[in-house]
Amino acid sequence: MFFNGDPSTRKRVDLGGRSSKERDRQKLLEQTRLERNRRLWVKQQNAAALKIQKWFRGRKAVEAEQSTVREQFFGTYGKYCQNVDRHCFSSDSEFLRQLLFFFNAQNTDDFTILVETCRLLLQNVRDSGDIVSLFAGVDYSTKHALVDYRVKQLAFTCIWAIYQNRKQLKDQLVMVPRDSSLTATLLLEAVVLLIDPKLPWACKVVGYLLQRNAFALFREIVLTGKENTKSDNSIRNASPLERILALMISHIGQHPCICPNINPQWSFSSQMLTIPLLWRLFPSLKEVFATRGLSQHYIHQMAQCVRNAYVLPNDVSVECPGYACLLGNTVETAGAALSHADCSFEMAMDLAAVTTFLLEALPPIKSSSPEIRQSSTMDEDDMALPDEMEIVLNKDLEQQIAHAMHSRFLLQLTNVLFREVSMVSGSNHGLDDKEVAAIGAVCAFLHVAFSTLPVDRMMTVLAFRTELVRVLWNFMKQCHENKKWPSLPEQLSYLPGDVPGWLLPLAVFCPVYKYMLMLVGNEEFYEQEKPLSLKDVRCLIVILRQALWQLLWVNPTAHSNSVKLVKNTSAYNGNPVESIKQRVSLVASELLSQLQDWNNRRQFAPPSDFHADGVDDSFISQAIIDGTKANDIMKRAPFLVPFTSRVKIFNSQLLAIRQRQGSHGVFTRNRFRIRRDHILEDAYNQMSALSEEDLRGLIRVSFINEFGVEEAGIDGGGIFKDFMENITRAAFDVQYGLFKETSDHLLYPNPGSGMIHEQHLQFFHFLGTLLAKAMFEGILVDIPFATFFLSKLKQKYNYLNDLPSLDPELYRHLIFLKRYQGDISDLELYFVIVNNEYGEKTEEELLPGGRNQRVTNDNVIPFTHLVSNYRLNYQIRLQSSHFMRGFQQLIKKEWIDMFNEHELQLLISGSLESLDIDDLRSHTNYAGGYHSEHYVIEMFWEVLKGFSLENQKKFLKFVTGCSRGPLLGFKYLEPVFCIQRAGGTASEEALDRLPTSATCMNLLKLPPYRSKEQLATKLLYSINADAGFDLS
C-alpha cells in the first residue's frame, strides 16, 4: 500500500450493517447446506441404481425360470398340448400353474397353447356340465384358495392375450361368430364361462378383473374391432365380448357383492361409455344396462366422479370427444329408468347432474328441422363459440344426443324431479332443501340444454306438457314476496356461491313462458287468465324489471354492449357468471317486451310498472354516448325508461346526426318544384334521385299552383312541412292502391298492389323513405298504421295473436277451429288459402301438397299458424321488405327498437286526442305590442279553445305547416310560437285584414280585432281558405 500523505488511520465502515465475521458465517452455512444436499442426491441416485439393477436381475432370473418351466411344460404336455386331458385343470395338476407362470402373450407358441387350453376347457364343460368339479374335484371348500387364484389368473390371461393381439384378431373381436372355433371366440367364451354368476368364485374373479383395469383393456379391444364391424340385422344373438361386459356390469352393484371399489378412472362408465355409439355395437348390452337398478348404480357413480377431469380417457377423435360419447350413451338408456313409476328422486337428481355437467362442455347442436319461431331467444348463431374453441361433433354422435334428449326424456326427468315440489302458491308454504334442490337441478339442466340442443322440439313439451312454468313461478313468487332467494351454486360446476338465486330460474322460466305467450289466444290470456293470472303477471313484471335493472345498471356485465353471447363452455376460458348474466338479461328483456305488447293490446297494468326508478336527466345525456350503461339499457331493455325520456333520447340522436350532416346550413342543394295536382309523381321522381346523404340534408320546396305559377313564400321549413303532410296524405291514401285499410281504418300494404302499379315495389321503397324523412325531421304525419305492420318496422315476426290487428273475423274463425270439439275433418278444410284481389280468385298451398292434405284434429294447430303466417307475413313480404329498405336509409333499426308498436305510432303521428291549447298558450311569445294579458290575446285564446278539433288542427297547420304539435308538447316547438300584432293601429283598414302566418318562424300575424265574433270569423276564413302560401 502506498503512502498518501495522511498519517491518520481511518476505520472502514460497512454500511450493510453486518460484520465480516457474520458474512463468513452465512457463507459457511450455505456451503454446508449445499454439500448436504449433494450427498443426499448422490445417495438417492445410488439407491435408485440398486433398485433398477435388482429389478433387472430379478426379471432376467424370472425370464430364465420361465424358459425352464416352458421347456418342462413342452416335455410333459407337448408343444401343442397333445398330452392333455380334463385332469390338467384339477388343483393337483401342474398344467395351469406352469402355463400361467411362463405365458407371454406375444409369444406365438404360448398364445397357441392358451387357445388350445380354452378349447379343451369349453369342450370338457360341454361334456360334463360341471366346471367346479373340473377345477376343484369333489371338495371345493378345502381347495378354494388355489382354485380361485388359478381361475382369476386364467380369466385375466385370456383378456390380456386378446388385448396384446387385438390388431391381428380385429375381424373377430366384436362380431357375433358364425364359427365357434375362431381364436378370439374361444378366448372370450372361456372368460364368459369363468365369470358365470352362478359359480362360487364369480365375485372374486370379477373383482380381480376390475383391479387389473379390465375395462380399459376392453375399451381398446372394442375400438380396434369396431372399425371392421358391419352391422348384420339378421343376427340377434349377443357376441361373446358383449356377454362378458353384460355379466361384469350386472355383477357390479348387486347384493351381496364383495368386489372392491376401484378408481373411477377405470370404471365401466369412464372406459366403455366413452366409446362412440356403443349401443350400436352392443344392442343386447344396452338392454341389460337400461334396467333400472344398473342405470341407477352407474349414473350415481358418474355423478360422484364425472367432475374430475382425469376420469375420462383420451378422446377417440376430435369429432368424438369422450364427454360427448358418455352423454350420448347415458341418455340413450336413461329414459327407460325414468319411465318406471317408482323411479327415485335421487336417481333423477344424479342424472340431471351428470347431463348438466356433460352438456356444459358440448358445442351447440344445430336443429335438424326448421324452428317454428323465426326470432328466437335461443338463436343458435348468437351462441356460436369463438373460432379458436369451435368443435364439430360427428354427425351420428350429434343425432344420438339430440334424439336421446327428445321430448319424452325432458318430460320424464322434469316430472320425476317435480314430484317433490309442492304446487302450493304463496309465501305461507316454506321451501325445504329437497324442493330447492329439485328446482335447481331442473333449471341448471335446462339452462345448459337451451344453449346446446335444438330448442324447437323442447319448448312445446316444457311449456304444455310439464308443470315447469307453474312450479318455477310459484318458486319465484314466494322468494320475491319473502325477499329471500336460496342459493343454487352447486347445480352448475362453475357458479360461485354468491350468484343471485334468481339468476338460474329466470334463465329457464323466461324463454318457456315467452313461448307459451306466442301460442295462447287473447281470450285465454285476458279472460281465462292462462297460463298466469293477470295479478301474477303484474308481479312478474316487477321481478323482471328489478332483475334487468340489477343486471344492466347496478352490476352490469363487463363490456355487456359488445360481448356476443356464448354458450356455457365459456366457463372454461372466460367468465361464466358474466355469460349467464348476459343470457338472463337477454331472455328477461325479451319476455318483458312481450308482456308490454300484451299490455298495449289491452291494458292490465299501468305503464309505470315497466319503468325503473333512477332515470333522470343525467341518464338521458349518457344514453346517446356509445359504451355507457345508459346506452346499453336503451339497446337491451328500453322499456325500463319512460316513453318521454326515450323520445328525448331519440330526438337527441337525430339532432346529432343532422348536426354532423350540416343539414341546417345556409345553402341547400336539394330544391324540389312540386305541382300540387301532381304531388305524388313529382315527389317520387325528385326524391328517388337523391342519395342517402342528400336525404339526410335539407330539402327546400317550391309549390306550383294549377296555373303553373310558383306560389308565394320562401321555404324556411314551413313549406317543407306542408309538403310532407300533403304528400303523405296522397301517397298513403287507399284510393291510390298501395295500401289497404283494416276494419278499424288502419293501413297496411295492399297484397294486390302489383295488379295496380307496375312499379309498385319501387313506390313502396319511396314511401318507406318518405316516412323516414318525416320522422328524421321531427314532422308528425297522419298515417294510422295497423299494429302488425308497425312490427315489421322493428323487423319483428308476426304471430297468430297479431292477426286481430289485420282481420279480426279470420282470427275468430281460427280460434273457433282451435277449440272445436267435434271432428274437424268433417268441415272439409285443406291446407290451402284463397285470395280474392279485385275479383280475381287464386288458391295458394300453405305447404307442399296442401291441396290434398285435409285439416284434422291432429294438425289443426299448425294449420291456424300457417294461415296467420300467410296473411301477416308471406302475402306482403315483398311490399314490406321494399318499404323497410327505404325506411332504413334514414332511420336505424336500433333507434326505433326503443319503442313498442303503440309508441311508434305516436312517434309517427302524435296523440289522437285534442290539442292542448293551455300548453300552447304557456309556450307562446308575443310581439308588436301584444302581451299575455292583452284583450286581443285573451279573446284569441278563448276563440281557439272553442274551435272543433278539426279546426284546431287546421289552425296549427296554418301557423306551423303541420297539423300536429310536437310529440312532447309545445315546449319543444322550434322556433317558439309567436303572435305578432299586424296593422299597427286599430283602423278600419287594419281590421279588414285577415290573419296571416310565417310557417318557417311559427309566427301568427294577428290584427287587433275588437270582438270575439270578428276574430273567430276572420281566423276561420284564413285557416280554411286553402290558399297555399299566398296569404303569407
Return the active site residues: 1000
Residues in the chain: 1032
Compute how many other C-beta atoms are within 10 angstroms of the C-beta atom of residue 653.
17
- Helix 140-164, helix 108-128: angle, nearest 10: 130
Instruction: Give the β-pairing of 840-845 and 832-837.
Output: antiparallel
User: Residue 779's CB: how many other CB atoms inside 10 A?
Assistant: 21
Cell 360427428 -> residue: 394
Other residues' Cβ atoms within 10 Å of the Cβ of residue 820: 13
Q: Report which of 631, 634, 544 is spatially closest to residue 590, judged by C-alpha positions.
A: 544
* Closest C-alpha to 270, from 208, 224, 207, 315: 315
Burial of 474 (0-12, 13-18, 19+ CB in 10 A): buried
Grid coordinates representing 842? 287464386
**Cα separations in angstroms, 632 against 608, 623, 962:** 21, 8, 34
How does strand 924-927 pair with strand 977-981? Answer: parallel
Take residue 304 and report the three cell numbers written for it.
Answer: 360422484
Q: How many CA atoms lie within 13 A of 783 on its CB side?
A: 32
The DSSP bridge partners found for residue 982 are none
Buried b / exposed e over 962-996, threshold 16 CB at 10 Å, is bbbbbbeebeebeeebbbbbbbeeeeeeebeebbb
Rounded to whole angstroms, what are the CA distances from 49 to 32, 46, 53, 433? 26, 5, 6, 59
Give the integer Cα–Cα distance in Å for 744 and 561: 40
> Using CA atoms, how far apart are residues 369 and 1014, in angstroms rounded to an integer?
74
Within 10 angstroms of residue 604's Cβ, the number of other Cβ atoms is 17
Which helix (H) or strand (E) segment is 60 a member of?
helix 20-77
Q: Which residues, listed in sequence order, are joined to residue 1005 by a DSSP beta bridge?
A: 980, 996
Cα distances (Å, whole numbers) of residue 375 to 194, 378, 381, 733, 864: 61, 9, 11, 32, 19
Query: Do the Cβ atoms of 135 and 86 come closer than 8 Å?
Result: no
Q: How far apart are CA 1015 and CA 995, in angstroms?
A: 9
Cell of 203: 365375485
Distance of CA 406 to the CA centre of its chain: 18
Parallel, antiparallel, or unpaired for β 699-704 and 670-675? parallel
Which residues have a Cβ under 8 Å from the Cβ of 569 and sit 6 or more positions away?
A: 360, 361, 362, 363, 385, 389
Q: What does the alpha-carbon distance between residue 922 and residue 53 come to, in Å, rounded to a whole number?
A: 107
Kindly give the residue spans of alpha helices, DSSP state H, lying in 708-842: 718-731, 760-776, 787-793, 808-819
H helical segments located in 78-182: 95-102, 108-128, 131-136, 140-164
**DSSP for residue 824:** G
Amino acid making up residue 424: V
**Contacting residues for 480 by C-beta, under 8 A, at least 6 apart:** 539, 542, 543
